[in-house]
Amino acid sequence: MQELISRAKELLENGTVARVLGWKAGDLSYNPEPAYFTSVEELKDFVYNGFCGANLSKYMIEASKLEGKTLVCLKPCDTYSFNQLLKEHRVDREKAYIVGVGCKGKLDIEKAKQLGIKGIESVAGAEMTDAADTLTFQTLYGEKTCDYAEVMLERCHVCKGKDHVIYDEVIGESKDTKDAERFAEVERIEAMSPEEKFAFFQKELSKCIRCNACRNACPACSCRKCVFDSTKFDSDQKANVDSFEEKMFHIIRAFHVAGRCTDCGECSRVCPQGIPLHLFNRKFIKDIDELYGEFQAGADAEARGPLTNFTFDDAEPSIVTERG
């Protein structure tokens, strides 16, 4: 991390960038939060470790409107989101100095708690210079350890790769963390009966409190005026009045980002209720791959997405009934 901080100081001091977009310590050691740093002095609060899971590409929408360049720290998976925003003209490449930061898999503190590790005071082994093999927790009940991979975010187990697809420079090494099949959970749900599918999603979506965290964190949700904030009909209310609304919010949002979602997993990461919202998007990605050929949103900033490009080989609407 020190190399990253030193480079950020250098770029601030020589005027290359006007600010740094990274992370600072949160209220708990395992809860860092996105932050701007506009001076060398402020960088004393800069942190980067295994708990810095936030995808900072969306913050560049507003940063692109500011004077001067912003140094933004992007993990390999984040760069796909930045490319997609670039393609959609939502960010200004000239306003961004992209530092690709190394990633060895990001961590989910809730998984540690599910392992029975409670009363956590501090965590060792999550620094980027660590081997990312073992985590040591200092808790109110003594020292606890577990394998690093046991606490990784779901998205890191199906990682798209350790290479940054867009950057100005790269600092730190990345690790290949993929150890699971990307569409395994989607296929498990596809194999369910209609009644089982309905029960599964009814159970999950009934937890929704309409906090809008998924929408606010999602890089693909970048409309200037969101339909769910409209005062012309009832979608702007926070609490769900019936089960229909709680389902439609997420289904409509999934349709809105179809073909543009990079599968960054931010929707599930920020959900306070632990709803696996990424499964909606991943289902669309799987269908798009099967119907139009493999496509990874954000892999580059030029290629047209399957849903915005027409070819004579495209699937016809009748495919819906043929697939059942």
- Per-residue pLDDT tens over the stretch 193-226: 999 999 999 899 989 888 899 999 999 999 888 8
Say how many C-beta atoms besides its own lie within 10 A of residue 202's C-beta.
12
Do 138 and 279 belong together in one domain? no
Helix (H/G/I), strand (E/B), else coil: 54? coil
pLDDT for 238 equals 55
Give the per-residue pLDDT at 129: 80
Residue 220 is assigned to a structural domain of this protein: yes
Mean of the per-residue pLDDT values of the chain: 91
Q: Residue 183: CB partners within 8 Å, gap ≥ 6?
A: 282, 286
Assigned domain for 176 exists: no
Phi, psi of 36 (to 5 degrees): -95, 145
Question: How do residues 26-77 score in pLDDT, each as one tens digit?
Answer: 998 899 999 999 999 999 999 999 999 999 999 999 999 999 999 999 999 9
160 and 189 belong to one structural domain:
no
pLDDT of residue 226: 85
In a domain, 177, yes or no: no
Please report whether residue 218 resides in a domain.
Answer: yes
Residue 237 pLDDT exceeds 60: no
Q: Is 55 in contact with 266 (CB distance < 8 Å)?
A: yes
Instruction: State the pLDDT at residue 242.
Output: 62
CA–CA separation, 180 and 155 (whole Å) = 10
Residue 321: pLDDT above 70? no
Q: What is the pLDDT of residue 320?
A: 64
Question: Crossing angle for the helix pair 243-257 and 278-292, nearest 10 degrees?
Answer: 40
- Could you read off the pLDDT of 286-300 as tens digits, one per residue? 999 998 889 999 999
Q: Are residues 220 and 284 in the same domain?
A: yes
Could you give the CA distance from residue 123 to residue 261 in angstroms, rounded to a whole number? 32
Same domain, 58 and 145: yes
Among 85-89, 150-154, 163-167, 220-224, the least confident range: 220-224
206 and 129, same structural domain? no
Q: Where are the beta strands (DSSP E) in 107-196?
A: 120-124, 134-139, 142-147, 169-171
Tens-digit pLDDT profile for residues 248-305: 889 989 999 999 999 999 999 999 999 999 999 999 999 999 988 899 999 998 888 8
Judge if 236 and 116 occupy the same domain. no
Asked if residue 297 is part of any domain, the answer here is yes
Q: Domain end: 125, 141, 171, which one?
A: 171
Residues 78 and 225 in one domain: no
12 plus 161 within the same structural domain = yes
In a domain, 121, yes or no: yes
Residue 179 confidence (pLDDT)? 94
Query: For residue 127, what are the β-bridge partners?
Result: 49
CA distance 135 to 137: 6
Query: Does one domain contain both 129 and 214?
Result: no
Query: Does any domain span residue 225?
Result: yes
Question: Distance between CA 163 and CA 172 in Å, rounded?
Answer: 12
Euclidean distance between CA atoms 110 and 149, whole angstroms? 13
The number of folded domains in the chain is: 2
Token duo for residue 161: 């790769």
Spatial distance between the Cα atoms of 3 and 1, rounded to a whole number of angstroms: 5
Residue among 143, 114, 146, 120 nearest 133 (CA): 146
- 112 and 197 in a single domain? The answer is no
* Residue 179 covered by a domain: no
pLDDT value of position 249: 86
Give residue 227's domain range.
Answer: 184-323
Looking at the fold, whether 194 and 293 belong to one and the same domain comes out as: yes
Are residues 308 and 208 part of one domain?
A: yes
Q: Is the pLDDT of residue 236 over 70?
A: no
pLDDT in tens, 95-143: 999 999 999 999 999 999 999 999 999 999 999 887 779 999 999 999 9
Check if the beta carbon of residue 171 is closer than 8 Å to that of residue 9: no
